[in-house]
Structure 1
């Protein structure tokens, strides 16, 4: 860890998430001492600030792990909240908040900073929003002074809310929509959220309250889509508010039209059932506005689009891996004797140097494609969407660089040994578990490309699935290996 100019120790939970990852990088840039607690430290191995923070392995549901994490901490950022709404969700979230709050109190933490959601008073909230409110209330009642910011729709490159607006606006010139598109919403730019989170470190000690934060722009969701279209240079969009689309139907619709899977779309949509605007602006009496003032909605959209076009998406909603698709890491080969396992292995010798082959491997997916039968890959993505999965449209965070733990279309980067090996874990809906491993090894002055697909079937359905796709694998995986090596050879040729 690098030397810090600030003696106070800051603990960040949710460092692998959209807001948490960005906050940590800014804390480090300010010279703060930062500790993060994560279940899987490997997910932080490739982030730029990995060597500049203290990384503890631990689960927020483990009281002893949280007691250890809170030792010596002055400020704790609570930035963890699952995008769920199923049975037991609220109790689990409340239990986690209680464990963290108790550990913070026992360790003498001086402040907790929480990011919740804007919500009206006196109405029946969705399960997800009700849980976020309850977590904030639990932290405020913990005995540890707590600053609970309440924000609406967060606009920034890679945010789930922005991706939903972007794809709905780009795909549908005329959009039939639920009546909640006429509800009033006060969005906020991610840069302004981070401004307030960082500013919390300078608030008076002992402060224990909520603060509403927003941009000052109050719009309907329909207005937000229309303004997005204008900022993106699209023709005008028409939004038709219909009273017949329930949140569940709208969730299915968003799942099909956008990269946001149904499991995440539902809580996002449910949180839009009521107006979400600031009821007070008391924070202005404690913290100055960002330099240049708060970011208006249209400007926030422009900034997000610029970041995306330049391949500078710092963090993404897809990187949090909060979907119900988490699988165990690929067991090592000697352990396969206890499993039914199907494999497809390919090797191709390439005249290109290993570096050229690796460049193609690390750049795979997203706009760069999968080097074989694009229609077949797109069809598989749509089938997954129809089944409620993540689909193929999550794309890439960066056009040429990957990090362990991040999403890549309907895969997740499980292992990355830069220059040597990339292992992807499938997150599409499957009757089993699947991995795709791409690697390159030196071969004299050239290289050998190695490709391996591994599938652990679940029951009879898994076995039948493999048999059904086997003929397609024979074509798709063979052409994929061949085209990757050819692309590397073309790239390695002198200009």
Structure 2
């Protein structure tokens, strides 16, 4: 074992931060282990990562996993479960006790900012977890960050959806409060740096380069996506609960997760403690700008064609296997249809045929690949390993439509992600999008659920 090599274990390794931290630690030459609930997800990690299977509230599993490690990363968060505060409290006390017993040299935890006034349930839980971890004699480094900008972050998914769903944005008073958003790459940098130093003890803030309100963040996200300025609509009765219920219907984030996140916006989330750079080196090229952080989080976007670009995303979780969902996706079209509102594509295809377009039923090959035709679409990308299929619409319309479908694992379930992007050609394209959007939302929402339902019945 090299002198600067550490034995690190990541708890929460399949989450937004953990899934990025594990390969970063491996790249730094450390010995890395993970504790995951679902053994089927072991294949997500490099072969040189030690995989332990168990729950962070299981004292025996945690003791066995932590034994022999130098650094424990606690990146667990149960926000998607009712009673998340109690679950996380139990996990933190279990890990803290096991870490002390195993004589671990360092605990590293990422929490939220702690305003001096009354905390939201979410932020109060984050503070409680940090306190529980630090209550032992093990040096505990608590890094506090507000919004982390990165693909898969619930906070960022809410931001992106707010910026892209409609030209109008409801603005309650709490959306004017501010924070210091930070790029996920910068947070991962500080986490890996913690394994390169002597054990640290204390609470430090990970600050982004700008202080922005949530309204300003929405406008910034729209700008990066080359969308027009979003029109703010004062919404004095737009409560956290109402906003969360709407988010659960039209964004990839469930209402259960969205409500405590929205409630945390009641206060300015600008940490005012010592910065992480007091004890850890700054990123080599400085902090990532907000624009570049957003740009990095929005990967593989279709090229803009000169007009406005609109996007609509849906995410459905299922107990069907990734293979069953992927097979349903790659069987779309032809005799199997599109798992949505009956006859809607038939009518649309007939209209397209009258306009001199491709119409609907052009058929499909038994196994489609890039360049193949699927009814009124053409395959522009297929990746069976990543389980991603991208189709381009061939119907006549004042713009260009791309349908991007992905299947992966999210915690211990299968996640189907569907994104429709429309690049409008001028004013006619913008009017076309607005006119067809109500029906579009119904059709593609039913399609996402229909794909998952079909995958479940095919098992």
1:361 aligns with 2:361: no
SS of match in other structure, 2:111: strand
Deviation at 1:279, TM superposition (A): 0.6
The match for 1:14 among 1, 12, 15 is 12
SS of match in other structure, 2:104: coil
* Gap runs ≥5 in structure 2: 304-313, 345-382, 390-405, 419-447
- Alignment partners' CA distance in 2, 1:72 and 1:6: 16
For these two proteins, the number of residue pairs brought into alignment is 361
Query: Contact (CA 8 Å) 2:10, 2:18: kept in 1 or not?
Result: yes
Quote the residue 1:83 is aligned against: 79
The match for 1:120 among 112, 115, 122 is 115
The match for 2:458 among 453, 462, 467 is 453
**Residues 116-155 of structure 1: pairs in structure 2 closer than 5 A:** 116-123=111-118, 125-155=119-149
The match for 1:180 among 174, 181, 184 is 174
Instruction: Give the 3 Å change call, closer, same or farther, for CA 403–4 of structure 1 in structure 2.
Output: farther
Deviation at 1:290, TM superposition (A): 0.9
Quote the residue 1:56 is aligned against: 52
Query: Contact (CA 8 Å) 1:76, 1:109: kept in 2 or not?
Result: yes
Query: Contact (CA 8 Å) 1:157, 1:308: kept in 2 or not?
Result: no
- Alignment partners' CA distance in 2, 1:94 and 1:277: 24
Quote the residue 2:295 is aligned against: 302
Quote the residue 1:202 is aligned against: 196
Instruction: Give the 3 Å change call, closer, same or farther, for CA 118–361 of structure 1 in structure 2.
Output: same
- Alignment partners' CA distance in 1, 2:453 and 2:13: 27
Deviation at 1:157, TM superposition (A): 2.1
The match for 1:283 among 276, 281, 295 is 276
Instruction: Give the 3 Å change call, closer, same or farther, for CA 429–246 of structure 1 in structure 2.
Output: farther
Deviation at 1:305, TM superposition (A): 2.3
Instruction: Give the 3 Å change call, closer, same or farther, for CA 369–69 of structure 1 in structure 2.
Output: farther
Deviation at 1:190, TM superposition (A): 0.5
CA-to-partner distance for each residue in 1:270-300, whole Å, 9 max, x for gaps? Answer: 2222111121343222222212210121221
Q: If the length of structure 2 is used for normalisation, what is the TM-score?
A: 0.70
- Alignment partners' CA distance in 2, 1:370 and 1:289: 56
Q: If the length of structure 1 is used for normalisation, what is the TM-score?
A: 0.65
* Gap runs ≥5 in structure 1: 311-317, 331-356, 380-395, 412-427, 438-451, 455-495
Instruction: Give the 3 Å change call, closer, same or farther, for CA 243–436 of structure 1 in structure 2.
Output: same
CA-to-partner distance for each residue in 1:189-238, whole Å, 9 max, x for gaps? Answer: 00011011111113332x32111112131001000011111111001112
Deviation at 1:61, TM superposition (A): 1.1
SS of match in other structure, 2:47: helix
Provide the aligned C-alpha RMSD in A.
3.7
The match for 2:337 among 345, 348, 372 is 372
- Alignment partners' CA distance in 2, 1:126 and 1:359: 38
Deviation at 1:94, TM superposition (A): 1.1
